[in-house]
């Protein structure tokens, strides 16, 4: 697919670019009530059906007046001729020397362009107010019709992942339903004869299947994804072909873990190769070196799905997910790119590394007076989940860089906010 020789390593960036070239976003939509659109991908631009605000209105509680009535050098004294409440307009016109009591959000009365806040006025006699120079300037405390959004102009553009502020904005426009891309269907399963499911006895030489649980957790945080959990698939050509075929029929994306390295005992690679166009990459990264990527087709139905064959080691699964799969799922779901949030942190201990591959270290984060400090969480082997569980994020040691000394800074992907 990318002209790579079997034993040649490619960089993380090259692998990302090769994946991106193979992805076509879903093009099916559904209408949903706006609350159901939360964390879904907006399918088309929302044009504002109204001006927001719809009217000139007051930003404060106080008195509406004409800016021309303000005395620059002495007291301004005005007669209060009525009240304007939010939702109840003042009917009439305000002449020179007059003002109207007004509350926040009320429509500005005709003839008024300024609101003096009530804290800045005094009332020398019933029915009158006065305020000194400097209490207000012409045009103060007034919100203009359409200053937020104008009718017919784009309010939210297609591809946006709908967040709480978007729900509020849609509601403020009076929009009850929106068109969103249909959820992206992701099937996932674990492969390996040594894997046991929860509830089964742990036979000699076996391990519990944990990858399906970390994958479930990471996928669930992407709420535009619909999950299809196909369980643990034993390492036989028949079982694997059946699982891959079923997954290709049901899903847009298949994520497997295990069996993508050079081990002799497993059939995963053979079956992947048989059912599709799949490349087996060696990526210049640690953890996460071997990875398969391509497209699998069910030979009977002709249905196909994008395949990520992640390495079996539990930490490698998580790292390859965040390095490659997360962005690809956004792209396939039709969402605009949402790069991982990153922070810069100083390392608390030296880290050895040679240039020529990207490395990811598990770190706990602390703050001091100068910013974030990253502490390694212990053994960094790619099977060690405890140090991943104890970590607050992943420190990224860039491909071209060497090691770090105490106090050197590097990028960290914090787990909070990895959505």
Ligand X SMILES: Nc1nc2c(c(=O)[nH]1)N[C@H]1C(S)=C(S)[C@@H](COP(=O)(O)OP(=O)(O)OC[C@H]3O[C@@H](n4cnc5c(N)ncnc54)[C@H](O)[C@@H]3O)O[C@H]1N2
Applying CB under 6 A, the residues found at the interface with ligand X are 190, 192, 194-195, 207, 209-211, 257-263, 287, 289-290, 311-314, 316, 382-383
User: Least CB distance from residue 381 to ligand X, whole Å?
Assistant: 10
Q: Is 382 in the site for ligand MOO (CB under 6 A)?
A: yes
- Minimum CB–partner distance for residue 6 and ligand MOO (Å): 17
- Choosing from 101, 185, 212, 286, the residue that interacts with ligand MOO (CB under 6 A) is 286
Closer Cβ to ligand MOO, 62 or 290, answer by number = 290
Question: What does 192 interact with, of ligand X, ligand MOO, none (CB < 5 to 8 A by kind)?
Answer: ligand X
When asked if residue 289 is in the footprint of ligand MOO (CB under 6 A), the reply is yes
CA nearest 342: which of 255, 409, 272, 266?
Answer: 409
Among 227, 234, 245, 151, residue whose Cα is nearest residue 192: 234
| b/e 250-288 (16+ beta carbons within 10 angstroms → b) | bbbbbbbbbbbbeeeebbbbebbeebbebbbbbbbbbbb
Buried b / exposed e along 173-212 (16+ C-beta atoms within 10 A): bebeebebbbbbbbbbbbbbeebbeeeeeeeeeeeebbbb
Q: What separation, in Å, do the N-terminal and C-terminal C-alpha atoms of the chain show?
A: 29
Residue number of the CB atom closest to ligand X: 312
**Nearest-CA neighbor of 310 among 25, 24, 19?**
19
Tokens of residue 382, six digits: 């790619």
The 8-class DSSP code of residue 60 comes to S
CB closer to ligand MOO, 327 vs 359: 359
Q: Nearest distance from residue 184's CB to ligand X, in Å?
A: 22
Q: Which does 258 bind (CB under 5 to 8 A by kind): ligand MOO, ligand X, none?
A: ligand X
Q: Contact between 311 and ligand MOO (CB under 6 A)?
A: yes
The region of 116-124, 221-229, 288-296, 338-346 touching ligand MOO under the rule CB under 6 A is 288-296
Q: How far is the CB of 235 from ligand X (least distance, A)?
A: 9
**Binding partner at 190 among ligand X, ligand MOO, none, C-beta below 5 to 8 Å by kind:** ligand X
Q: Helix, strand, or coil here: 171? A: helix
- Taking the complex as a whole, the smallest distance from the CB of residue 407 to ligand X amounts, in Å, to 30
Q: Exposed, middle or buried by CB within 10 Å (0-12, 13-18, 19+), for 348?
A: middle
* The binder of ligand MOO chosen from 258, 259, 276, 287 (CB under 6 A): 287
Q: Which residue number, 225 or 260, has a Cβ lying nearer to ligand X? A: 260
Query: Residue 287 or residue 309: which is nearer to ligand MOO going by CB?
Result: 287
103 contact choice in ligand X, ligand MOO, none (CB below 5 to 8 Å, kind-dependent): none
**Distance set, CA 241 to CA 274, 298, 325, 361 (Å):** 9, 9, 23, 35
The 10 Å Cβ neighbour count of residue 416 is: 9
Q: How many residues does the chain have?
A: 419
* Binding span for ligand MOO by CB under 6 A among 109-117, 145-153, 293-301, 310-318: 310-318
- Of the two residues 53 and 290, which places its CB atom closer to ligand X in the complex? 290
């Amino acid at each position: 697919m990318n002209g790579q020789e079997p034993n040649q390593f490619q960089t993380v960036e090259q692998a990302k670019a090769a994946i991106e070239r193979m992805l076509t976003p879903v093009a099916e939509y559904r209408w949903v009530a706006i609350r159901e659109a939360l964390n879904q991908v907006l399918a088309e631009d929302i044009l504002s059906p109204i001006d927001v605000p719809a009217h000139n209105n007051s930003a404060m509680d106080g008195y509406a007046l004409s800016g021309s009535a303000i005395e620059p050098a002495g007291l301004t004294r005005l007669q209060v001729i009525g009240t304007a409440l939010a939702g109840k307009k003042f009917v009439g016109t305000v002449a020179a020397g007059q003002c109207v009591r007004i509350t926040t959000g009320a429509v500005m009365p005709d003839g008024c362009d300024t609101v003096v806040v009530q804290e800045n006025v005094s009332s020398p006699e019933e029915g009158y107010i006065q305020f000194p120079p400097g209490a207000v300037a012409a045009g103060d405390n007034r919100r203009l019709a359409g200053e937020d959004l104008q009718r017919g102009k784009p309010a939210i553009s297609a591809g946006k992942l709908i967040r709480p502020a978007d729900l509020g904005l849609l509601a403020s426009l009076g929009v009850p339903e929106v068109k969103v891309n249909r959820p992206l269907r992701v099937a996932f399963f674990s492969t390996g004869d040594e894997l046991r499911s929860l509830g089964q006895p742990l036979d000699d030489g076996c391990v519990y299947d944990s990858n399906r649980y970390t994958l479930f957790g990471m996928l669930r945080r992407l709420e535009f994804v619909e999950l299809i959990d196909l369980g643990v698939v034993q390492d036989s050509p028949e079982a694997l072909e059946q699982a891959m075929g079923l997954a290709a029929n049901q899903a847009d994306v298949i994520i497997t873990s295990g069996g993508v390295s050079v081990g002799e005992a497993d059939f995963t690679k053979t079956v992947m190769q048989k059912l599709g166009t799949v490349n087996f990459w060696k990526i210049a990264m640690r953890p996460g070196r071997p990875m398969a990527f391509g497209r699998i087709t069910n030979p009977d139905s002709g249905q196909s799905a994008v395949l990520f064959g992640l390495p079996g080691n539990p930490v490698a699964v998580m790292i390859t997910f965040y390095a490659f799969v997360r962005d690809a799922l956004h792209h396939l779901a039709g969402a605009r790119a949402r790069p991982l949030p990153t922070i810069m942190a100083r390392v608390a201990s030296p880290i050895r590394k040679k240039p020529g591959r990207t490395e990811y270290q598990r770190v706990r984060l602390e703050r001091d007076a100068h910013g974030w400090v990253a502490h390694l969480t212990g053994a960094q082997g790619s099977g060690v989940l405890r140090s991943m569980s104890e970590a607050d994020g992943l420190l990224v040691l860039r491909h071209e860089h060497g090691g770090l000394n105490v106090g050197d800074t590097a990028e960290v992907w914090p787990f909070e906010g990895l959505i």
